[in-house]
Amino acid sequence: MSIVRQFYRLQLVDAELAERRAQLADVEASLGETEDVIRARQAVVEEEERVAQLRKQVRALELEIGGLNDKLKRNQDRLYSGQVRNPKELSSLHDEANALRRRRSELEDRQLEAMIALEEEEAELAERQARLRQIEATWRQEQQALQARKQELESLLAELEEQRQEMRTKLGAANRALYDDLSRRLAGTVVALLKQGMCQVCGVDVPFTMARAVERGEGIHYCPVCERMLYGG
């Protein structure tokens, strides 16, 4: 096998390695939680906090209303016990009862508003939780597919690396050094295909005698413009 053919085959393997490594990098970058999952989870957390605050508010109002009811009961027990006969004290008890009822009415209005708000926020929370479950289910499926693709690429890369190492070993030290030097200078494309007398990298028409020699596989020839080895395929 000519050295040009060996270089071309190695170049193909190197190109596929680079492509597969880029694919693997993309896959690895896509692993982990996505922005959609993070946003959906944060939306649930925020709504949970609002619901918790409203529940706390409703509970606090319930306790306060309960306390007022206890006070009102004691007021009424005393008022109608018959033990209080002083008109001024009786008037004071009536005033206190009226004040307690007004305060209770205010708190009950606030409690109703808070309960309506809580019901609305709980419905919103349920919607966000359902949305999160849907997003997470889709995300888990995508992650499984990505993990499978990652394993596939890693296996393929291992095979290509082994193939590349075997090919480089067969080249010998001198040709490996030449290939590596050309690869560095020529952006990884050491060998250019020659079709119908035209270099497929830079597009130049090479001299006829050179083209014929390349097609017959006679010697090593370089493109006069891009300086890559020419291979007739």
Which domains are present in the chain? 25-172 (1.10.287), 189-231 (no CATH)
Q: Strand locations in the chain, DSSP E? A: 191-195, 198-199, 229-231
In tens digits, what is the pLDDT along the chain, a chain of 233 residues? 699 999 999 999 999 999 999 999 999 999 999 999 999 999 999 999 999 999 999 999 999 999 999 999 999 988 888 888 888 998 899 999 999 999 999 999 999 999 999 999 999 999 999 999 999 999 999 999 999 999 999 999 999 999 999 999 999 999 999 999 999 999 999 999 999 999 999 999 999 999 999 999 899 999 999 999 999 97
Task: Report the SS3 class of residue 205.
Answer: strand
pTM for the full predicted model:
0.74
Amino acid (1-letter code) at residue 8:
Y
Q: Is 63 exposed, middle or buried (0-12, 13-18, 19+ CB in 10 A)?
A: exposed
Residues forming a β-bridge with 150: none
pLDDT of residue 1: 65
The structure tokens listed for 132 are: 């999160």
Task: Report the SS3 class of residue 231.
Answer: strand
d(CA 172, CA 170): 6
Residues forming a β-bridge with 198: 195, 205
pLDDT of residue 23: 98
